Amino acid sequence: MQNDVTLEKVVRSGSEYIPPEDCFRIQCDSIEFIRQNVPQWSFVTYNGYNLREFGTSAVTEMAVAVANAIEAVEEMLRRGREVVWIAKRLAFFGLLPVISSKRLLG
């Protein structure tokens, strides 16, 4: 499930409709709901590809995706969840090719 509402808010027109803190709350609420009710699903896939399409660098793409994931894990901890509870199904999309290409390009 692409549940990265915060990224969509940043790169699309969501800012007119949903404030950033509400986007993040919806994202975290969805993580909890899916993890509790559909435990075999990967409840969120973090990526920065949309930012890349709008002209950011590969480093920024990775940084935004990883920072969003870290904040989501920290929010789940604040909500009383264990790291394993969230990390078990945490997924990243498109970051390995970016990391690999950065290694090749030096």
Distance in angstroms (rounded) separating the CA atoms of residues 28 and 68:
11
Rg (CA), the chain: 14
Q: Can you spell out the DSSP letters for 22-68?
A: HHHHHHHHHHHHHHHH-TTS--EEE--HHHHHTT--HHHHHHHHHHH
Question: Residue 80 corresponds to which amino acid?
Answer: G
pLDDT at residue 9 in the model: 53
pLDDT at residue 98 in the model: 47
Domain ranges across the chain: 5-105
Q: What is the pTM of this model?
A: 0.70
Q: How confident is the model at residue 75 (pLDDT cuts 50, 70, 90)?
A: very high
Res. 4: pLDDT tops 60 = no
Q: DSSP letter at 79?
A: T
